[in-house]
């Protein structure tokens, strides 16, 4: 599954109406709604939108006839297999009515082209884990973090050693745990953080 790696825009003109699509990656439905509020163009006639985050989605026709804008935008997201994304298509009315079919094609087509040309990246499912180890094992842990592509989030020192909070691909947790045990001769202990 893919998402966008950055914000992207695309503009189309259909019978003198301008359609401007903006798409952004989002992590949660709440973030999607915040981004929609920020992406709305106050001078546009309609700011229609859709988002998908996992199995959660919403869309809005923003005053256009029902089913002619939000649903086609969502269909464009789904057709391209993109997740964790929000798309807002702003229409600047050019004086010529497009009809229901024309509107659906204009909104859906503009959203689809915006998504098609946008920079994408694979979605990584990340896990946060806590590693505790005695002081003399620290030297073995740092190279292991780099080798496994883990990101250190925090590091705290206590009376008996160090506690690191790290983030890595969910699929690499078991392998990292085995490598940690080998590198620290069983002294490093890993615990998955579940209260995120």
Whether residue 130 sits in one domain with residue 187: yes
Bridge pairing between strands 8-14 and 17-25: antiparallel
* The token pair that represents 143 in the structure block: 């190279």
Q: Would you call 48 helix, strand, or coil by DSSP? A: strand
The domain boundary, picked from 73, 106, 122, lies at: 122
Report pLDDT for 147: 79
| Angle in degrees, CA 157, 163, 127, rounded to 5 | 150
Across the chain, what does the average pLDDT equal? 86
First to last CA, the chain: 22
Query: Per-residue pLDDT tens for 58-69?
Result: 999 999 999 999
Measured distance CA(35)–CA(25) in Å, rounded? 9
Report pLDDT for 127: 74
What CATH number did the domain enclosing 56 receive? 3.30.230.30
* The token pair that represents 9 in the structure block: 């825009």
Kindly list the distances between the CA atom of residue 183 and the CA atoms of 13, 74, 126, in Å, as whole numbers in the listed order.
60, 48, 23
Closest CA to 4 of 112, 84, 107: 84
Domain of 118? 2-122
Whether residue 144 sits in one domain with residue 114: no
The domain boundary, picked from 84, 100, 122, lies at: 122
- Averaged over 141-151, what is the pLDDT? 81
Whether the Cβ atoms of residue 69 and residue 89 lie closer than 8 Å to each other = yes
Whether residue 130 sits in one domain with residue 113: no
> Per-residue confidence at 196, pLDDT binned at 50, 70, 90?
very low
Kindly list the distances between the CA atom of residue 155 and the CA atoms of 161, 164, 176, 182, in Å, as whole numbers in the listed order.
11, 5, 18, 21
Report pLDDT for 190: 67
Residue 89, CB half-sphere, CA atoms under 13 Å: how many? Answer: 39
Whether residue 137 sits in one domain with residue 106: no
Whether residue 138 sits in one domain with residue 94: no
Whether residue 135 sits in one domain with residue 101: no
* The token pair that represents 175 in the structure block: 């392998």
Q: How many domains does the chain divide into?
A: 2
Report pLDDT for 21: 94
Is the pLDDT at 194 greater than 70? The verdict is no
């Amino acid at each position: 599954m893919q998402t966008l790696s950055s914000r992207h825009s695309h503009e189309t003109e259909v019978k003198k109406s301008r359609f401007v699509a903006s798409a952004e990656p989002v992590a949660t439905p709440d973030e999607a709604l915040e981004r929609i509020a920020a992406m709305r163009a106050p001078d546009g006639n309609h700011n229609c939108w859709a988002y998908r985050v996992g199995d959660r989605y919403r869309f809005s026709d923003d005053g256009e006839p029902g089913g002619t804008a939000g649903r086609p935008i969502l269909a464009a997201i789904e057709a391209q297999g993109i997740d964790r994304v929000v798309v807002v298509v702003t229409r600047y009315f050019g004086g010529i009515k497009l009809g229901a079919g024309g509107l659906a094609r204009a909104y859906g087509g503009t959203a689809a082209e915006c998504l098609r040309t946008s920079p994408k990246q694979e979605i990584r499912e990340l896990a946060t884990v806590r590693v505790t180890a005695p002081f003399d094992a620290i030297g073995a842990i740092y190279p292991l973090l780099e080798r496994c592509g883990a990101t250190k989030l925090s590091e705290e020192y206590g009376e008996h050693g160090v506690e690191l909070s790290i983030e890595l691909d969910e699929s690499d947790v078991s392998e990292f745990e085995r490598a940690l045990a080998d590198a620290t001769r069983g002294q490093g202990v890993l615990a998955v953080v579940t209260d995120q």
